[in-house]
Amino acid sequence: MADATPSIAEQATIWRKLVAARIRADWQYRTSFVLFTVSQFVAAFVDIAVVLVLFTNVDRLAGWSVAEVAFLYGTASLAFGLADVFVSEVEFVAHHIRHGSFDRFLLRPVGPLLLLSGHEFAFRRAGKVFQAALVLAVAVTQVDVGWDAARVAMVVQMVVVGFLIFSGIWVVTSSIAFWAVEIREVANSFTYGGNFLAHYPMEIFSGWLRRLATIVPLAFVSYYPALWVLGRNDPHGSPAWLRFAGPLVAAGVVLVARAVWSSGIRHYRSTGS
């Protein structure tokens, strides 16, 4: 008999198989599949189109050039897009609880989070990842930066840290469903809202929003590290070490997310649906 807790490799296989199954199932409805994928891809471009439209009216936004804002946009959106592909499925907890189908996920010898992610995978979300990568690639060539190994590494770190932060936010806000399934939508303010916010330099926001963006650590996704990469100063005088605090913040977010999710499952199992 196999061991009760699957190894990382086993979990990866299970996830892969579930995702493949989901794609095969969705492919049965070909037209819808294609249309949805196309629309998501187009939708992704609307986002950056907005930024470009805004820049037809000004040269600089709070002192940031269009390329610099595109850099913020690219890193944040890429991180967000990856989280959207692999982790956003956790949003469906609310749907399953409402329809009484969440119990199924608790009957398997695998964590429900993994099952949800594989089960509710949607291929169309990948569109955003490609679009973001494209924008980031262009931005990287357009900004006035002396690219060295350290800076390149920092960009990679930004995406990884951002991915973990957005994933954590997704898990934590989706867990609301365990306690109050009707207000699940509040999560969107933090996930999609967070992505929106991280496209722009923190300077444009009022003090309270900047502080909020440091606690729900959106500022660590793109802004703080970008300050270092782009060689910019923070007019609000934040300490320099914040720009390198990404990994630490991400680790904290992951721990918090795990705790909240476990707590949510425990609550579900002790109060029933």
Partner 1 sequence: MALIRLEAVEREFAVHQRVGRVRRRRQVVRAVDGISFDVSAGEIVGYIGPNGAGKSTTIKMLTGILMPTAGTVRVDGLDPQRARTELAMRIGVVFGQRNQLWWDLPLRDSFELLRHVYRVPAARHAGRLAEFVDLLDLGPFLDTPVRQLSLGQKMRGEITAALLHDPSILYLDEPTIGLDVVSKSRVREFLARVNRELGVTVILTTHDLSDVERLCSRVMVIDLGRLVYDGTVDDLKARHGQYRTLVVDLEAPNGPLAVDGAEVVRVEGPRQWLRFHRDRKTAAELIADIARITPVVDLTVEEPRIEDVIALLYGRAEKD
Partner 2 sequence: MALLAAGRFPLHWAVAHRSFRRYSTYRGATFAGVFTNTVFGFIQAYVLLAVLGQRGEVGGFDAADVVTFTFVTQGLLAAVAAFGPFELADRITSGDVVSDLYRPFDLQSWWLAQDAGRAGFQLVFRGVPPFAVAALAFDVRLPADAGVWAAFVLSLGLAVTIAFAWRFAISLTAFWLIDARGFVQLTGLVFLFFSGFVVPLGFFPDGLRAVAQVLPFSAVVQLPVEVFLSKHRAPAELALVLARQAAWVLVILVAGRAVLARAWRKVVVQGG
- 127 near 194, Cβ under 8 Å? no
73/268 with CB nearer partner 1: 268
Half-sphere exposure of 118 (CA within 13 A, CB side): 18
* 156 lies in the site for partner 2, by CB under 8 A: no
* 42 lies in the site for partner 2, by CB under 8 A: yes
Taking the C-alpha atoms of residue 210 and residue 87, their distance in angstroms, rounded to an integer, is 26
Taking the C-alpha atoms of residue 6 and residue 21, their distance in angstroms, rounded to an integer, is 20
Site for partner 2 in 186-225 (CB under 8 A): 186, 188-189, 193, 196-197, 200, 203-206, 209
Q: Which amino acid is at 50?
A: V
Site for partner 1 in 48-67 (CB under 8 A): none
| From 8, 56, 146, 272, residue interacting with partner 2 (rule: CB under 8 A) | 56
- 65 near 149, Cβ under 8 Å? no
Q: Residue 61 forms beta bridges with which residues?
A: 64
Cβ–Cβ contacts within 10 Å for residue 55, how many? Answer: 17
Q: Catalog residues that contact partner 1 under the rule CB under 8 A.
A: 1-6, 10, 13-14, 17-18, 21, 24-26, 28, 100-101, 103-104, 106-111, 115, 269-272
Q: What does the binding site for partner 2 look like in residue numbers (CB under 8 A)?
A: 29, 31-40, 42-43, 46, 49-50, 53-54, 56-58, 61-62, 180-186, 188-189, 193, 196-197, 200, 203-206, 209
